[in-house]
Amino acid sequence: MPEADTFPIIPREALFGNPTRAQGKISPDGKWLSWLAPYEGVLNIWLAPADDPASARAMTKATARPIRQHFWPGDAKSLLYVQDKDGDENFLLYRIDLETGEETTLTPFEHTRVQIVGASETIKDRILVGLNHRDPQFHDVYRLDLNTGDLTLVYENHSFAGFMADDTLTLRMAMRQNEAGGTDYFRFDDGRVEDEPFETTAMEDSLTTTPAGYTTDGSVLYWLDSRGRNTAALYAQDTATGARTLVAQDDKADIGGTIRDQETGKVQAYSVEYLTTEWTAIDPAIRAALEWLGDRLEGEFGISSRTDDDRTWIVWNDPLTAPVRTFIFDRDAETLEEFYVSRPELEGAPLRPMHPLEIASRDGLTLPSYLTLPPGSDGTHSGRPDSPLPTVLLVHGGPWARDSFGFDAVHQMLANRGYAVLSVNFRGSTGFGKDFINAGNKQWGLKMHDDLIDAVEWAIDQGIAERDKVAIMGGSYGGYATLAGLAFTPDVFACGVDIVGPSNLETLLSTIPPYWAPMVKIFHERMGNPDTEEGLALLRAASPLHKAESIAKPLLIAQGANDPRVKQAESDQIVGAMKQAGIPVTYVLYPDEGHGFARPENSIAFFALAENFLAQCLGGRAEPLGDVLEPSTTQIVEGEEHVKGLASVPG
């Protein structure tokens, strides 16, 4: 690949290390700016006066696991964040007092996962939270005083999967799966759940229909709803009469996000994401603001934070072939002040555009997909390489999720190393209507896998991919797809990289987190019910573990030891089966991670292994391993000899 070799290698650390800054926000009163940035090498929360951003100070001192999510309460007297322990996903809620800097654990319970049930525009010092410390399956609802830490029980829950409150922090709705695998929605009456649901969905609508919040006065309940149609439309329901009004719809994709009026809660704009995201404004002032921003920002952009008076926005901008930038937008002055660049080390790097496209499946479905090509490979700028390339099929997780358009660090690394990178929204992916999702029901390892094979054949037919140099890679469901690809279709792929992928669907379903139990029917109806003979046979047939002896190509497996969704046993099982069959495999374990990588040291180390593994398999280039493993907790359990240069690396 002489063309790619003439372009500089983008260092792994620039793509997977700590950002310089991230998650910028403005306080509701407009007085403060906050963001995440490294403090002694670990992402922490920083704070600065809005009129003096240079006088920033670190508000937290996390030393091991990065803080990845923070937010402002309505009264702007504190900062809030959630954190788990080594990837166990038992997130607790923490508060930092702005005046004193004192940190408090607001939910000081072991083996507990906090949920935010409700927040308010008018009651700014309290929120509703769900806590499952009494029963790990069910979240009880508490009113939390953010300044005193007092927790008051609002509702003890013994059967419901979720709740919704209005702006008075009064519970208005409870949700529970029904026998059909859909959802029943129940009203509250004077603190008690009514016996009969006021709305219900069948299984076919369960992933495309959901309540989307009340207006501030509680008179309107918004719904994203696919009942009686294919794509999810936005409806406004009069809570007094039950009458519904269609607000927005799209034939190709579900309605996605909304912008709401800060005071009234009414929808001002909505988004639709098919291949790319498009915003449509209902409110004239919001339309003017979005158009003003669109004239000045290239690529994708969106609002990440707003002041209560809605005059100042924090706006992110993804230029696609340059690092993501964040701006402070003064709507009255019509000024756009740069807040920060997330990864300034990527300035001038040979970042590649992502090409949105459509691929036809063998049975006539349209698969929205994304292709990134190596630098120097597309002399005509047509989105097709001058000659076929080694290719990586990068499969998203979920599977009830989707790939999207925009900057993607893995796409950029792989393209920079000389590979075409293809991501496919296979059937079962979300965002494209219920018919597309439901076409994937009970099709793990079957038609869902056929879609991936069809995408590979398309790439070969289009002159994009070399037939004997296609790798498959992904996390979670994408890891499962990798295992399935090598076990079920061993002649298609040259090698595979599996990150926290399940190998045995039977044991996967028997070890789900307890708080998923109220939603277990979604797995039974969409994967197979292990309590029935037919369902159990389906799950076993779709499990790569039972065809491990068919794996004939190199395989790299990464697993977090504390993963609550895909337990370590999922990787241990297939590694053991491959060893027993005498099949080589490389297995790396991370004792302080869960369902993916949170610590950048581990992320950098893993992608170092992955790129050198792919270089050995596909012939692309790779940044040498060096001492990349030393700062990480990487444990090479099996097969160091199958990764280029690993046997000679310390650590």
Annotated catalytic residues are 476, 563, 595
Q: At what angle do helices 600-618 and 409-416 cross, to 10 degrees?
A: 40
Query: Cβ distance 575 to 69 under 8 Å?
Result: no
Q: Are strands 42-49 and 171-177 parallel, antiparallel or unpaired?
A: unpaired
Say how far apart CA 368 and CA 403 lie, in whole Å. 9
* Dihedral class, residue 626 (left if φ above 0, else alpha if ψ from -120 to 50, else beta): left
Distance CA 354, CA 407 (A): 8
> DSSP secondary-structure letter at 247?
E
- Return the sign of the alpha-carbon dihedral for residues 598, 600, 604, 605: negative
How long, in residues, is the chain? 651
Residue 603 amino acid letter: S
In SS3 terms, 131-200 reads as EEEEECCEEEEEEEECCCCCEEEEECCCCCCEEEECCCCCEEEEEEECCCCCEEEEEEECCEECCCCCEE
Dihedral of the alpha carbons of 172, 177, 181, 184, in degrees to the nearest 10: -30
CA–CA separation, 644 vs 589, rounded Å?
A: 18
Q: What is the DSSP letter of 19?
A: -
Q: In b/e form, how buried is each residue of 11-32, taking b as 16+ CB within 10 angstroms?
A: bbbbbbbbbebbbbbbbbbbeb
Distances in Å between the Cα of 326 and the Cα atoms of 304, 317, 465 are 9, 6, 36
Q: Is there a contact between 621 and 566 (Cβ–Cβ < 8 Å)?
A: no
